[in-house]
Amino acid sequence: MAYKLLALNIDGTLLKNNGRLQRETKEAVEYVKQKGVYVTLLTSRNLLAARKVAKALKLESDLITFQGAIIGKSLNEKMFEALIPEERTFNIVQVLENFNCNIRLLHERYSLGNRKKVQKNLVVRTVLSSGDPFFYPTQFVDSIGDVLMDEPMAVPKIDVYFASDAERDEAAAVLAKAFPTIDMIMQSNGKMEIVPQGVSKLAGLRRLGHHLGISLREMVVIGDSLDDIPAIEAVGLGVAMGNAPAEVKKVADWVTRSNEQLGVAYMIKEHFRKQQRPEFLRKLKMKR
């Protein structure tokens, strides 16, 4: 199989634990681009943060961001966008503010969060995981609901952090009954991501593939998170990082090294070194 698209998760996959992008990883991405493979990013991050990583990799491709809620090259060049409407966002926040949780509304240009302390360093980790605050600022307020009454927001994603998975699941049950037109993506350590119905990393891959004329079986996905599982299962070659949870490794076709051990670069060199550019294969077929 000659693969035509490579989708890469960012945190825990492309980046080391300190947030650095290694030279070997950049070289590997350039290597696979030279073989005519379309390289994209597949992330829960916002588009501005993903675009910064893409720039470091010299990618001009459409990026799948906000769990697939926004796909595009930039905020001015969107291929797809799905938002939770203003009124529904407000109503979801009203429900969530009855629980002990950190809430973050993720707008395309900034985020709005509450100041409630749920867990030690939780807010700090939330800010650091969002990317460079210079490009994507975060504002913290006492009551998000009060702010939304005066300044309504429609958002592609809402991140919610609970002290435990049990508390998260209790809130999720309430939300599921009240709001049938949203989807909830469960993460580890009590985190939940709320997105418009039908939004996911896999759905984003399907949309981008349809736009490019590339089928899922012609794609490779490399990831490390629970939300990568559907995409890893669905594509032609699903790859789990060595640092991924057991559930991710179980569904993968191949497990590479960890993000600390340059797992993306290793996988690319191992699997793409024998793949020729599509133009070369077409000429070879014509000669035969």
pLDDT in tens, 118-161: 664 455 454 445 555 557 888 999 999 999 999 999 999 999 99
What pLDDT shows up at residue 116?
77
Final residue before a domain boundary, out of 196, 228, 244: 196
Asked if 160 and 118 sit in the same domain, the reply is yes
If asked whether residues 135 and 211 sit together in one domain, one would say no
Q: In this structure, is the dihedral angle defined by the CA atoms of residues 231, 235, 241 and 245, taken in order, positive or negative? A: positive
CATH number at residue 189: 3.30.1240.10
Domain span at residue 94 reads: 86-196
Dihedral sign of CA atoms 212, 79, 217, 269 in order: positive
Looking at the fold, whether 77 and 218 belong to one and the same domain comes out as yes
Confidence grade of residue 115 (pLDDT, cut at 50, 70, 90): confident
191 and 211 together in one domain = no
- pLDDT, residue 28, reads 96
User: Do both 66 and 208 map to the same domain?
Assistant: yes
Task: Say whether pLDDT at 11 is over 50.
Answer: yes
Residues 116 and 181 in one domain: yes
How far apart are alpha carbons 203 and 207 in whole angstroms? 6
90 and 190, same domain (yes or no): yes
Burial class for 253, CB neighbours closer than 10 Å (0-12, 13-18, 19+): middle
Given 161, 196, 231, the domain boundary residue is: 196
Q: Tell if the pTM clears 0.85, that is, is over it.
A: yes
Pair (204, 187) in one structural domain:
no
- pLDDT per position as a tens digit, 190-220: 999 999 999 999 999 999 999 999 999 999 9
Determine the pLDDT at residue 257: 97
CA 288/CA 282 separation, integer angstroms? 10
Out of 10-14, 32-36, 120-124, pick the least confident: 120-124
Identify whether residues 136 and 273 lie together within a single domain. no
Least confident of 60-74, 102-116, 118-132: 118-132
Per-residue model confidence (pLDDT) at position 274: 75
| Positions of E strands within the chain | 5-8, 38-41, 63-65, 70-74, 77-81, 101-106, 111-114, 138-141, 157-162, 182-186, 191-196, 219-223, 237-240, 254-255
What local confidence, expressed as pLDDT, does residue 119 receive? 63
pLDDT above 60 (res 15): yes
Mean pLDDT of the residues in the chain: 91
Percent of the chain with pLDDT over 90: 82
Same domain, 56 and 103: no
Nearest C-alpha neighbor of 270 from the set 250, 282, 254, 251 = 254
Q: How confident is the model at residue 285 (pLDDT cuts 50, 70, 90)?
A: very low
CATH code for the domain of 246: 3.40.50.1000
- Of the two residues 188 and 94, the one the predictor is more confident about is 94
Identify whether residues 97 and 179 lie together within a single domain. yes
Give how many domains the chain has, as a whole number: 2
Alpha helices in 179-228 (DSSP H): 201-212
Per-residue pLDDT, 278: 59
Same domain, 125 and 183: yes
User: Residue 209 is which amino acid?
Assistant: G
For the cut 90, the answer to whether the pLDDT of residue 233 exceeds it is yes
Instruction: Choose the final residue of a domain: 149, 169, 196.
Output: 196
Phi, psi of 128 (to 5 degrees): -65, -30
Q: In the beta sheet, which residues pair with residue 186?
A: 192
What average pLDDT score do residues 54-66 get?
97
pLDDT of residue 124: 46
